[in-house]
């Protein structure tokens, strides 16, 4: 008779990644395949200095940031969100500074577990929040705003607080051949700049404050508005 131990085996938890895995550079593959070909048995295996293979040519490379920055759990490095999802860096959590982060297309964040909702009094008043933790290592990361009592705080609903002491900004670097410094590198650089130029909420701008309190703050609209303001200033300077 088999006695049950009462211990249930849990499935291992594997994180989901926001970015594809890195591919190792193949700079030496073609040169190595031609140089390491197996000689024929009918020929002599001895080599002379005149017939020795030429030394391998090392292609010049440079480091490029070809992927967007991500926010990761500080303990296990699981991906949580893209840095472009940061709405504001001026919030306060339990352990000091914190990010206000918008949800992804699915309405949440990557590799997190959400706890039960509870009413909690924060610096800005009473809110209904749910603590969030890393889905891989169970480290507490912050909380999600589920509801807000005051209408002025409703813009936070559905967004997340990530403690800066619990998450880190990860930047991806790759070794790119200089000869490629063309399209792929330029495309990656342009994509990175677009992600990094991710517009962050400006609490000193009255229009942006009004938009975010109304729940209509949009990153693209703000970017166009700022570009328009800059061009207007340049026109005014030229007119003077």
For the stretch 197-237, pLDDT in tens is 566 766 667 777 777 766 677 777 777 777 776 655 555 55
Segments making up each domain of the chain, as ranges: 70-170
Query: What is the length of the chain?
Result: 240
| Contact (Cβ atoms closer than 8 angstroms) between residue 65 and residue 192 | yes
**Pairing relationship of beta strands 86-93 and 96-101 according to DSSP bridges:** antiparallel
Residues 135-161 as b/e (b if ≥16 CB within 10 A, e otherwise) read: bbeebebbbbbbebeeeebebbeebbb
pLDDT band with cut points at 50, 70 and 90 for residue 4: very low
Q: Both tokens of residue 47?
A: 């080599």
Q: How far is CA 121 from CA 38, 93, 129, 166, 214, in A?
A: 74, 12, 10, 22, 22
DSSP H helix total and E strand total for the chain:
4, 11
CATH class of 70-170: mainly beta
* 124 pLDDT higher than 70: yes
**Closest among 127, 29, 31, 18 to 73, alpha carbons compared:** 18
pLDDT score of 164 more than 90? yes
CA dihedral 137, 138, 140, 141 (to 10 degrees): 50
Q: Indicate the helix (H) or strand (E) that contains 28.
A: none
pLDDT for 212: 72
Reference 115, options 150, 142, 84, 80; nearest CA is 142
Question: pLDDT for 165-188, tens place per residue?
Answer: 999 998 877 766 766 555 555 665
């Amino acid at each position: 008779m088999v006695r049950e131990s009462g211990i249930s085996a849990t499935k291992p938890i594997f994180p989901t990644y926001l970015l594809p895995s890195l591919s190792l550079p193949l700079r030496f593959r073609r040169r190595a395949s031609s140089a390491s070909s197996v000689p024929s048995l009918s020929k002599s295996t001895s080599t002379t200095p005149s017939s020795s293979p030429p030394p391998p040519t090392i292609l010049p490379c440079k480091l490029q940031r070809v992927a967007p920055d991500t926010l990761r759990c500080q303990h296990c490095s699981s991906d949580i969100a893209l840095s472009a999802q940061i709405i504001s860096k001026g919030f306060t959590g339990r352990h000091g500074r914190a990010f206000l982060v918008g949800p992804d297309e699915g309405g949440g964040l990557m590799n997190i577990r959400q706890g039960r909702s509870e009413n909690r009094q924060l610096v800005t008043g009473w809110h209904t929040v749910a603590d969030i933790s890393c889905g891989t290592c169970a480290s507490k990361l912050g909380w999600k705003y589920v509801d807000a009592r005051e209408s002025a705080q409703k813009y936070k609903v559905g967004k997340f607080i990530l403690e800066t002491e619990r998450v880190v900004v990860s930047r991806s670097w790759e070794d790119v051949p200089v000869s490629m410094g063309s399209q792929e590198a330029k495309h990656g650089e342009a994509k990175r700049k677009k992600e990094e130029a991710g517009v962050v909420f400006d609490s000193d701008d009255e229009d942006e404050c009004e938009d975010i309190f109304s729940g209509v703050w949009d990153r693209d609209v703000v970017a166009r508005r700022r570009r328009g303001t800059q061009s207007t200033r340049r026109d005014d300077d030229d007119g003077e």
